[in-house]
Amino acid sequence: QKEVEQNSGPLSVPEGAIASLNCTYSDRGSQSFFWYRQYSGKSPELIMFIYSNGDKEDGRFTAQLNKASQYVSLLIRDSQPSDSATYLCAAKTSYDKVIFGPGTSLSVIP
């Protein structure tokens, strides 16, 4: 079992819709979670992080964490073509490593 799992996609949504990206993790002791966006040929850039159960909102982005279910999600409201990228979920595990999932490719169709 991989430590951090994501659906590889591609996930396609129409412009203006909500994109929902999901992530599960295996280490129950994981402390914090991150979402990164990576455009083709570029390095990952941090979108947001979440430490506590519940929702955390930042502009059009909302991260949701459920530690009991070992589940993290990212919602992107009012999706724009510029949001088309690969989204990487990462978990800081109980042994202090930041481990990344394989990423979900998102395509926002104009």
Partner 1 sequence: KAGVTQTPRYLIKTRGQQVTLSCSPISGHRSVSWYQQTPGQGLQFLFEYFSETQRNKGNFPGRFSGRQFSNSRSEMNVSTLELGDSALYLCASSLVASGAQHTIYFGEGSWLTVV
Nearest distance in Å: CB 44, partner 1:
5
CB 73 → partner 1: shortest distance, Å?
Answer: 19
Nearest in space to 77 (alpha carbons), one of 31, 27, 15 = 15
Residues in contact with partner 1 by CB under 8 A are 31-32, 34, 36, 42-46, 49, 51, 88, 92, 95-103
Q: How far is the CB of 97 from partner 1 (least distance, A)?
A: 5
Q: Which is nearer to partner 1, 80 or 94 (CB)?
A: 94
